[in-house]
Structure 1
């Protein structure tokens, strides 16, 4: 988190972590994730099951969950990991998601293509989702306001 995409999480240990993922359960309720290096099925499942289940356990209805992802560090990924993340979105559905924002590096064309396929699938399902290519755009989407959820347990 070198350029402080999520400044209120600076220095805060993630609730969940693996070799290629760090995830925080945050307020307003949702998840903040960083994926980096070679993303595996284990990394994807950490986000799509372990962390997601923790956020859902705190969800009391009303406003949907907000997911903010800094995925600029992804170098490569297992194709199953991409499918797992898309399936996660399908399982949650648009009724439980308020917004998904993804920050990605425009320079990695293969990763960009994979993320774009996933974004298209979510958009077809009616899930509000946006790709951003700058930290400033993520800040405009609300990344500066994400802070650790006080009742989250990792």
Structure 2
């Protein structure tokens, strides 16, 4: 894989976080770390913290901190699961529901601005390629092909990159 591809993805992610972080902090009092959880709550009302961790692809400690801050800000409530008292179910508050449309609109507007000048066909190609890359990375992270991938790249020269 071309190193510049991953570098560009990293730069896009960082710059997107900078933009979203600044816009959402001032308008909605939602940090860049909280935004994915805020959106996940809209789709999976009543999810557990473990389920949110999987949806947002972060570790449990991050989820714990973010859920706590969103609860303190009044964006979510935690209720004990009736079947498993060790689990908390997480629900959006009325304030979260009021902001949902505005936040979604802001994200769509941002997406439109970032993809301006790119045809629908080009975007489909990019999305398919990124989906394949994500699947490859998921396989590596799960350990499936990790040993084979490492062995197949040994002796091909240094292709490592910090990004």
What's the TM-score, normalizing by structure 2?
0.27
> Relative contact order, CA 8 A, sep 6+: which one is greater?
1
Structure whose residues are more often helix by fraction: 2
Structure whose residues are more often strand by fraction: 1
